[in-house]
Structures are given as structure tokens and as C-alpha cells.
Amino acid sequence: MFTFLHTADLHLDSPLKGLELQEDAPLAEIRGATRRAFTNLIDFAIAEEVAFVLIAGDLYDGDWKDYNTGLFFVRQMGRLDKAGIKVFVVSGNHDAASQITKNMPLPGNVTVFAADRPQSVRLETYGVIIHGRSYTSRAVSENLAAGYPLRDPHFFNIGLLHTSLTGREGHESYAPCTLDDLRSKGYDYWALGHVHQREVVLGDPLVLFPGNLQGRHIKETGAKGASLVTVADGRIVGVAPREFDVLRWADCRADLSDCETREAVYACVRRAMEKEQGLASGRSLALRLHLEGGCPLHRDLHARSPHWVEEFRGIAAGLGDIWLEKVKFRTRARIDAEENACPDSPLAGLLRAVDGLEAGDNALTAWAPELAGLKTKMPVDLLGPDSVFARSAGDLAELREEVKELLIARLQGGAP
């Protein structure tokens, strides 16, 4: 029996985005996060005595600023070498041969697969053969998997590949291939990379993306790490995610429906943050706070949003090691039942008009300049950091909701 680690998309020394503008942001922690996550993985590999480590592309984020990124990697590889652990690497779109201009001699335990053709490496000790191919350039449109050899029946076969498969939302299409392409090779395990969200694509044979090792912005939320695979008698008997990230990104939702007072809002937000802290088991957190629900304080939240943001920062600071990436004010006004009942009330008319906008994109597009114009007439402190002018057509639905809430708040409460 043996185990191996499958990791991908380390993007070493990639910056973390979204906290840098805050005065109290943990800059050193942010800057070193991808390295510390990788060190966690190496520590684990040594402690657990894994047989080998697979890196399925995007080890680097792009060309190194200087040699320090390469030096760091080599130092970690040296630690594995001392422990007798081999490492197999294919490059991806971010660290394709054409992207990296600097070179660093690697210790003997590290194999980087060729880019011009598929290559197969045997590990006789474990009865394993690993097939892989690196990227020559950033945009690989060729189906690389198609060129991989068929399984070697005398070994446990692993395919190492950086690919978007038939396409994954939010990820560019590189080295496209179908699951049938992969299945047809007869391998036991496909170690993929490129998609930053962990995904077990297929159970038999196992085809999976381990996700990236460390989230880098608010679109990369939740636990991040690698996959630990256990093999016995030439068969996979276990596969499990292992967390190695050091700073976790999360969407933190606070439902303020029943919050009648400022203190109630604070308590609700604190509870929501504590919940995320629990899920992150003590890691530092970068949170996007979403305020939701029909809230009696809706108007005040919108009218004084910059002040509320600072107060929420205070709650985060009090809990320790939490930073707010952004606060989304998405509460609704609690609509008075009496007003709702009367179809001639100004509010009912307004709601009908706004609802009419939901009929189709065309109607909304036609209205959008009006909505945008209306919003510019609002007091400055109502305009969040993301101005309506910065928005794309795809964000119109969100804009509509936002303006709807502003209108309702104003109509209900009079001018602030």
C-alpha cells in the first residue's frame, strides 16, 4: 500500500487580491500565503511518508520577478529529496515553457515532463507509470490527451494533464479533451489541473481537479488544498481532500430580517463571522460580508453605509484574524402591509414599474440610463465603491435590485 499527493495550480508568489487597500491588512501574511500553503503540503508529504507528489500545472503564476521564486521551490524540493520522495511536474498555461525566462537547476528527485511530446516515467518501486506532457506556450488549443500512450498493463497508470476538459465556467479553454478521450487510455487515475475549484469529475476511473492550493481572491472561496490518494494492490482504495491553505476566503451571509436595533445588527454580523471562523478552523479569514433580508434598519444601512462598514471592520478586528474584503448591502425594506394592499399607493406603483423591468433584458437596457442617472442624484454616501458606470451589461440585474432598494428606501422614509 502507498499514498501519493496530487496538487495543481499553486501559482507560487501570486499576489492575493482584494485586501491590499486596507490600512490594517496583514500584508506579509498575504504576500507569503502561496508559499506557506506549499510549505504545509511539503511538511505533510514528509510526515505522512507519501510515495510521490504530482503537480498538474501552474506551479508558477508566470515569469518570476527574480530568482527567489525558483529558489524557494528548489529548497522545498530538496526537503522532499532528503525524504526520498519523488516529484512529477507538468507545466500549464501560466508556467508554459514560453512564459518562464529564468531557469533553476532542480534536484534529482524532480521530473518535469517534456513539452514537445508525451513522456512516460516508471516508478518500479511502486509499480507505477506516470504519463504527462507540459505546455509549450500559454494558449494550447491542441488536444494533448489524445497523444498520450495507452495504458501499460503491468503498471498502475497515472495521467498528468493541465486541461479545461470540455470547458469549465470561469476558466479559459486549454488542451481541450473529453472524458471519453481520457477513458479510452485505460489509466487508473487522471491527475488534472487548471480548474481552481476542487472537482471529482469521474469516479471510475478517477478523474479529478484538486483545486488550487491557496485561494487568491474572493472568487476562490472555501477550503483549498490537495488530494491524497491511497493505492493498495494496484487499486485506488481511498481519495480525500487535504487542506493546506493559510488564509481562507469566504462569503459571509448575515440575515438581518429580525434586527430592529443597531446592537441586533452587530450581534447578527458577529454570529455570521464566528460561523465562518469555525468552518476555517482557526485560519485567517478574508470575508465578503453579504447583508440580506427585509430589515427594519434598511434605510439607515444604505444611508450611512461607510460608517456601518467601519463598524463591521471593528467586529471583525475584535474576533481576530478576520479582514473584510467588501460589504454588500443587499437588505430590503420591510414593506408595509397596508401600503402593499393599496394598489394606488405610490410604492405599489413604483414596485410594479420596477418589476416590469424584469420582463426582459431589452426593457432593462432601455431603462438603465435612467436608473444610472437617478443614482447620480443620490447623496454621495449612497454611492458605494462600485459605481454604476463601472458595470457591464451583465450586471444590470444586480443594478436593478440595488436601485429598487434605494428607491423603496427613499420613498418609505423620505429624503435622508
Give the x-and-dash track for 206-245 against Mn ion (CB under 5 A).
----------------------------------------
Q: Which residue is closest to Mn ion by CB?
A: 58
Residue with smaller CB distance to Mn ion, 88 or 174: 174
Establish if 58 lies at the interface with Mn ion (CB under 5 A).
yes
DSSP state of 150: P
SS (H, E, C) 43-78: HHHHHHCCCEEEEECCCECCCCCCCHHHHHHHHHHH
Residue with smaller CB distance to Mn ion, 34 or 331: 34
- Number of C-alpha atoms within 13 angstroms, CB side, residue 236? 19
Smallest separation (angstroms) from Mn ion to the CB of 60: 10
Task: Extract the C-alpha cell encoding 155.
Answer: 503498471
Smallest separation (angstroms) from Mn ion to the CB of 142: 18
Q: How far is CA 319 from CA 131, 282, 393, in A?
A: 48, 11, 38
Q: Where are the beta strands (DSSP E) in 153-234?
A: 156-162, 189-193, 199-203, 206-209, 225-232
Query: Three-class SS of residue 286?
Result: strand
Residue with smaller CB distance to Mn ion, 92 or 296: 92
Q: Residue 330 CB: number of other CB atoms within 10 A?
A: 17
Strand 235-243 and strand 206-209: pairing?
unpaired
Stretch that binds Mn ion, among 7-15, 105-113, 260-268, 274-282 (CB under 5 A): 7-15
Please state, in angstroms and rounded to a whole number, the distance separating the CA atoms of residues 236 and 6.
13
Give the x-and-dash track for 307-336 against Mn ion (CB under 5 A).
------------------------------
Residue with smaller CB distance to Mn ion, 58 or 220: 58
Stretch that binds Mn ion, among 52-60, 181-189, 213-221, 224-232 (CB under 5 A): 52-60
Q: Which residues contact 111 (CB under 8 A, 6 or more apart)?
A: 86, 87, 88, 89, 121
Smallest separation (angstroms) from Mn ion to the CB of 269: 33
**Which of 34, 48, 9 lies closest to 229 in space, CA to CA?**
48
Residue with smaller CB distance to Mn ion, 120 or 197: 197
Give the x-and-dash track for 8-47 against Mn ion (CB under 5 A).
-x--------------------------------------
Stretch that binds Mn ion, among 3-11, 305-313, 355-363, 388-396 (CB under 5 A): 3-11
Q: Which residues contact 24 (CB under 8 A, 6 or more apart)?
A: 317, 323
Residue with smaller CB distance to Mn ion, 9 or 405: 9
Smallest separation (angstroms) from Mn ion to the CB of 195: 8
Residue with smaller CB distance to Mn ion, 247 or 357: 247
β-sheet with 235-243: strand ranges across: 110-112, 86-90, 52-56, 2-7, 225-232, 235-243
- Give the binding-site size for Mn ion (rule: CB under 5 A): 2
Site residues (vs Mn ion, CB under 5 A): 9, 58
